[in-house]
Amino acid sequence: MPEPKLTLSTKSPPGEDLALACKSLFHLFPKWDFRAHGEIDSTNSEARRISLETGGDAWPRVILADYQSEGRGRHGRTWVSPAQTSLLATVMAPRGSFPVPPSILPICMAVWAEEGLSRAGVPKTEFKWPNDLLVNGQKVAGILCETSAEAVLLGIGVNLEQQREDLPERSLKEPQATSLRLELGNNHPGRLAALLAITGAILESIENPGQMDPILDRYRDLCVSFGTTVAFRDHTLGQVAGEAETIDGSGALVVNVEGHGQRLVTSLEDTDD
């Protein structure tokens, strides 16, 4: 198996902050293979291409970018951010290689990212199931966890430097977008420090995840979705809605659908062709 290495794209070189962050992270996490791009379609898409091309070689990897021309969220939704204003990353490894079941990875990723935001100076982060991280009720980050034939892909986008005019308007039913710059003001650590804090916390947690019960409890304590109505597609009922109650031990959302009882909903997306 090839040795892990740090690759800074020559076709689309990363900016100074991202390049310095990757060099530092590669020194701190020498078992990981890092690839950094100035521009790419999306880090999850690139990770999936690599998984199809290389199979089990040179695992695990971290793909990072300054800008995504086709950034996306769950179910094909777009993720838009100006260049060099965000953390845009995907952590990838073979299916079965993570120390936790795939179904619980979106929950883990949220908690691991929350720790990173805390290290970056955010006093409190909350979760909106399945993939939003909120600061003061506004969305500061999104998570997209997918599986392919070869790999598990853990994608994350965190708004770091955006001003209000840089952020897209969201529907009134959804949390409005914000950034660390807007929320922390003069206490914002800067993009380089935030890249290191958040990515470092995620990789550190993957290498030493600890017990799952504290992770599940942390998510339950900070999730604002419980007690609200959520819509989802059930395998037997089709598109339905019900009241979110909690998450179970597998990381699935427990939803009470009137007349049908409790249903389980997972946030892991399968991208196999």
Q: What is the pLDDT of residues 34-46, one digit of tens each?
A: 999 999 999 999 9
Q: Is the model's pLDDT at 268 over the cut of 80? A: no
Q: Could you give the percent of the chain with pLDDT greater than 90? A: 64
The percent of residues in the chain predicted with pLDDT above 70, rounded, is 90
Instruction: Of 160-164, 208-212, 223-227, 241-245, give the lowest mean pLDDT range.
Output: 208-212
Against a cut of 0.95, is the pTM above it? no
More confident: 62 or 3: 62
Query: Sign of dihedral through CA atoms 54, 59, 60, 65?
Result: negative
Higher-scoring residue by pLDDT: 54, 114: 114
User: Under a CB-based contact definition with an 8 Å cutoff, are residues 124 and 115 in contact?
Assistant: no
Element (H, E) at 135: strand 132-135
Does residue 55 surpass a pLDDT of 90?
no
Alpha helical stretches, state H, 55-184: 105-119, 180-184
∠ at Cα 55 (270, 272), nearest 5°?
A: 20
Rounded to the nearest 10 degrees, what angle do helices 191-207 and 105-119 cross at?
A: 140
Q: Give the pLDDT band (50/70/90) at residue 75.
A: very low
Q: How far apart are CA 45 and CA 273, in angstroms?
A: 13
